[in-house]
Structure 1
Amino acid sequence: MLGWDKNQKEDEENASSSSIASHTISKSQPRQLKHKVSSLTHGHFFSTSSAKPIAELPNSKDPQSLTVSFLQNSCGLSLESAISASQKLNIDNPKNPNSVLDLLSTHGLTQTHIRNLISSRPLLLLADLENTLKPNMELFESLGFSGTSLAKMLSRDQRVLESDAYTVVEFFRARGFRDEQISTLTMKRPLLYLLNAHKIFKPKLDFFKSLGLSDLEIAKLLSTAPYILERSLENQIIPCVQELRRILGNDENVLKAIKACCSMVGFNVEVVQPNISMLISHGVPESLVLKMFLIQPKFLLVRTYRFSEIVSDVMKLGFDPNSLLFVWAIRVMAVMSKTLWEQKVEAYKKFGLSKDEIYSAFKRQPLFMTVSEKKIQKSMGFFVNKVKMKPSLIPKNHYLLLYSLEKRIIPRCSVLQLLISKRLIKEDTSIFRAIRMSENKFMEKLVSKYQNEVPDVVRAHQGKIEFQGFHIDLKM
């Protein structure tokens, strides 16, 4: 049993459930219905080969019986799902449904993908193959969708296959969207393909252009937050921009804020002014608040009661309201829940750090707490176990956790390890200084300088030599 294919096992279970269903109904239903259900539970199960022709199914003049049999045997649906789906369509000729299944399979969809797709939208089997379904599948393939990526996109809205996808894609292309951006937009919001592009999208793109955004900037912003295209222009987008203009004073600042956080035009920005007033009442200079708003506007979109809690917590930690760090601390705490904050604190504590050490590091650099819980565990584990660094040194050098472990820290440690083993650099070389060096300076001083003498130093810098750990105590 352990060697079975997962889909095969599911099909075996479906067969068993079909048999049980037939037995159960036979006890309580009339003879005519008993014969009908019995006919549904025979035939071939869904296979990776081409769809089974209807001729292989039991002879029956009942359209629903034929439909249920096809959904079971050719699409892999369970008896219960097939009966439910048969209420929405009748398959009296299997030619189009078989062609639909073949087309889906051709584009990389597996048995499981197809079964889920047909279960959600059985009417897809009767779609216009030549004029709609096939052109749409080819269009989505040109955007990079096939197999798993296609299945993931379709799981969000199957109706996209029956939409006028070509018109929508050509609309975005004509407006300067690159295919990669259209692909991103499609994956995030396939629902957009069900809307009238010229009637619903064009006025919004024209409005953003009237604000001073270029076609390229609009494409970048909307592919990042495509749900904005579903928002009402008159009731949400325009009032939002008007509120931002009132708060920020001029259109130049509004543009800066939208570019920094385009999704804000999809939010209710009425909370911004109360939050700004709260910061000012705690002694934060208005110029500093506006500066942060233009850099990271999203932190001011937090609901006022939660924002009040955050400001209170930051004050208790001893941040100076006149300092940029005060606003940065609020920004960091505003983008994570209390639960996530505590999880990160616990992750640090597992490596021997005290709560005071963690909060001291946060006060020196609030970005210390933006590191994901997974990266905390991975990076702390590397420095403590591989580099043999005292845990207390890490929060004092918070940047260690902000750099990429794979792309920067491990390769540089490998270079140091190699050069020390060749006695080309001193054993008291500072690992902190080596990690903080700019890439150009590191290449000049520790890679290019020694690559003729030790060719492997280049491979080490490329991450192709495994770091084994230092055999001596490096200067920290």
Structure 2
Amino acid sequence: MLRFICSKLPQKLRHRPSKPSLANFFSTSSLKPTSELPNSKDPQSLTVSFRQNSCGLSFGSAILSSKKLNIENVKNTNSVLDLLRNHGLTQTHISNLIRIRPILLSADLENTLMTNMEVFESLGFSGSSLAKMLSKYPAVLESDAHTVVEYFRAHGFSKKQITTLTMKRPSLYLYNADKIFKPKLEFFKSLGFSDFEIAQLLSSEPCILTRSLENQIIPCVQELRRILSTDENVLKAIKACYPILESNMVHMLQPNIDTLKSHGVPQSLVLKVFFIRPTFLLICSNRFSEIVSEVMKLGFDPNCLSFVLAIRSMALNSKPLWEQKVEAFRSFGLSEVEIYAAFKRQPLCMTVSEKKIKKMMGFFVNKLKMKPSMISNCPNLLMHSLEKRIIPRCSVMQVLMLKGLIKEDIGIVYMVTMAEKKFVVKFVSKYQNEVPDVVRAHQGKIEFQGLPIAMEM
């Protein structure tokens, strides 16, 4: 009976094509030209098809974005896509851009999009750099970018600074320059900043331009005046740490200053902290108090600069990162006592990255045959550049030793820490006529193989 019923079923039912898989709906591997779009009078249907086939959106994304905007002028939208492609954006970039900002497809092509693209291209944005910037804030393509760029140029910003500012904070292009930026630039000028210094400040920390002048910047400066006494000191502090203008002075900075003073740090040293990049003061007060207690336990003197430098080093490291750096030193045979002795001698040695610690220790121990304890006794060695200073100097010593020209006893520490001018006079200029290779060695053009004669430690 069952066989009889099946034989009578219509062909269409017996051979119904299988449903397309979900993967097919989300595939963007093959993009159809606009000419192959369905001829539908329904704008939403046309929009969905267009965004799937020409923009590379998945079926789901196309449905969602079609609710925000219906395409009625396919010719304009194709021109928008061509514009994006012609400026180096890949199909993936374009898909992401349209998904975030579907209204771009109906934007004014000639008067807005093309003009803005030219502006961003003049600043050096194209391809991946353009895509990266636009992904942060795609609405900038609909702004008056030319006016904003010209405003910054008129106020002393270089092309490089405007480019940096654009990459960091593209949303600035949507602000009214005269209304939002002008009062802030005038305020910084009244503090004593030059146009050049204002451009430096704002290109480094463009978020300041988005902060309220009355509710954030002015109160912050007033609090700095109260702490630092003079406008000159306020200016120095801001130049040392631009982010201080964005800090919560009352609830974060002031409690941390009070903690320093309560542990015996004199006012003169607190002032000095503000002039050596006081970023470490801008952390949670509970964490700051914890760090100060740790530094006290290690025996640092609150009257010495090393006390606040030790706090700074700890504040710049999370607890796990601190332990990783301690372990990096320990892997070369240093005990915890030796590691913290090095920290007491040079607190900033713990601001060096874990990668650099391993690289530097490996070079000193394996290439120069130094005992690890020697480095813990002179942690300043870690504060220099391996590639730009230490290896070139070692290469110079290698050349001179092979020629038998180094007869006096010279210590490695002395050689590495010597002032650059003095090193050049003593070991490069003195021998460059007799041994021209010392110049090439000092320029890093001769590979360092190792010292043929052991140097003093």
TM-score, normalization by structure 1: 0.86
Distance 2:26 2:89 in 1: 26
Amino acid at match of 2:131: A
Residues 1:424 and 2:405 are matched in the alignment:
yes
Distance 2:106 2:359 in 1: 51
Residues 1:394 and 2:379 are matched in the alignment:
no
Amino acid at match of 2:235: L
Runs of 4+ in 1 over 3 A off after TM superposition: 40-44, 58-62, 426-429
Distance 2:78 2:367 in 1: 58
CA gap of 1:272–1:44, structure 2 versus 1, over 3 A, is: closer
Match of 2:305 among 318, 324, 328: 324
Residues 1:290 and 2:275 are matched in the alignment:
no
Aligned to 1:36: none
Distance 1:209 1:43 in 2: 53
Answer yes or no: is the 8 Å Cα contact 1:245–1:251 preserved in 2: yes
Aligned to 2:4: none
Shift of 1:428: 4.9
Shift of 1:365: 1.1
Answer yes or no: is the 8 Å Cα contact 1:414–1:465 preserved in 2: yes
CA offsets per residue over residues 26-85 of structure 1, 9 Å max, x none? xxxxxxxxxxxxxx8999823xxxxx6421334433333332232222222222222222
Q: Secondary structure at the match of 1:318?
A: coil
Match of 2:174 among 189, 194, 197: 194
Distance 1:275 1:240 in 2: 15
CA offsets per residue over residues 136-175 of structure 1, 9 Å max, x none? 1111111121122112111211111111111211111111
Residues 1:363 and 2:344 are matched in the alignment:
yes
Residues 1:21 and 2:22 are matched in the alignment:
yes
Shift of 1:408: 0.9
Answer yes or no: is the 8 Å Cα contact 1:43–1:58 preserved in 2: no
Instruction: Find the structure with the greater CA-based Rg.
Output: 2
Match of 1:45 among 13, 19, 30: 30
Distance 1:460 1:353 in 2: 32
Which sits farther off after the overlay, 297-306 or 396-405?
297-306
CA offsets per residue over residues 65-113 of structure 1, 9 Å max, x none? 3322322222222222222222222233322222222222222222222
Distance 1:232 1:41 in 2: 44
Distance 1:44 1:381 in 2: 48
Aligned to 2:115: 135
Distance 1:325 1:118 in 2: 54
Match of 1:160 among 116, 126, 140: 140
Answer yes or no: is the 8 Å Cα contact 1:280–1:286 preserved in 2: yes
Shift of 1:368: 0.8
Q: Secondary structure at the match of 1:186?
A: helix
Residues 1:54 and 2:55 are matched in the alignment:
no
Aligned to 2:8: none
Amino acid at match of 1:334: A
Which sits farther off after the overlay, 244-253 or 223-232?
244-253
Aligned to 2:49: 69
Distance 2:97 2:405 in 1: 62
Distance 2:377 2:78 in 1: 65
Residues 1:203 and 2:203 are matched in the alignment:
no
Residues 1:82 and 2:83 are matched in the alignment:
no
Aligned to 1:183: 163
Residues 1:311 and 2:303 are matched in the alignment:
no
Which sits farther off after the overlay, 104-113 or 231-240?
104-113
Shift of 1:219: 1.1
Residues 1:383 and 2:364 are matched in the alignment:
yes
| Aligned positions of 1:145-156 closer than 5 A | 145-156=125-136
Equivalences, count: 438
Residues 1:444 and 2:444 are matched in the alignment:
no
Shift of 1:133: 0.9
Amino acid at match of 1:279: L
CA gap of 1:21–1:92, structure 2 versus 1, over 3 A, is: farther
CA offsets per residue over residues 169-228 of structure 1, 9 Å max, x none? 111111111111111111111111111111111111111111121211111111111111
Match of 2:221 among 214, 230, 241: 241
CA gap of 1:92–1:53, structure 2 versus 1, over 3 A, is: farther
Distance 2:162 2:27 in 1: 45
Answer yes or no: is the 8 Å Cα contact 1:19–1:41 preserved in 2: no
> Could you say what the CA RMSD is over the residues aligned between the two structures, in angstroms?
2.2
Match of 1:255 among 225, 235, 243: 235
CA offsets per residue over residues 399-456 of structure 1, 9 Å max, x none? 2211111111111112212222222224854222221222222222222233333333
| Aligned positions of 1:319-358 closer than 5 A | 319-358=300-339
Aligned to 2:16: none
Distance 2:365 2:80 in 1: 57
| Aligned positions of 1:213-252 closer than 5 A | 213-252=193-232
Which sits farther off after the overlay, 53-62 or 324-333?
53-62
Residues 1:102 and 2:87 are matched in the alignment:
no
Answer yes or no: is the 8 Å Cα contact 2:26–2:58 preserved in 1: no
Q: Secondary structure at the match of 1:392?
A: helix
| Aligned positions of 1:267-282 closer than 5 A | 267-270=247-250, 271-282=252-263
Shift of 1:363: 0.7
Which sits farther off after the overlay, 87-96 or 234-243?
87-96
**Unaligned ranges ≥5, structure 2:** 1-18
CA gap of 1:459–1:204, structure 2 versus 1, over 3 A, is: same
Q: Secondary structure at the match of 1:451?
A: coil
Aligned to 2:355: 374
CA offsets per residue over residues 384-411 of structure 1, 9 Å max, x none? 2222222221122212211111111111
Answer yes or no: is the 8 Å Cα contact 2:223–2:249 preserved in 1: yes
Answer yes or no: is the 8 Å Cα contact 1:427–1:472 preserved in 2: no
**Unaligned ranges ≥5, structure 1:** 1-17, 24-39, 47-51
CA gap of 1:80–1:473, structure 2 versus 1, over 3 A, is: same
Q: Secondary structure at the match of 2:372?
A: coil
Which sits farther off after the overlay, 69-78 or 249-258?
69-78
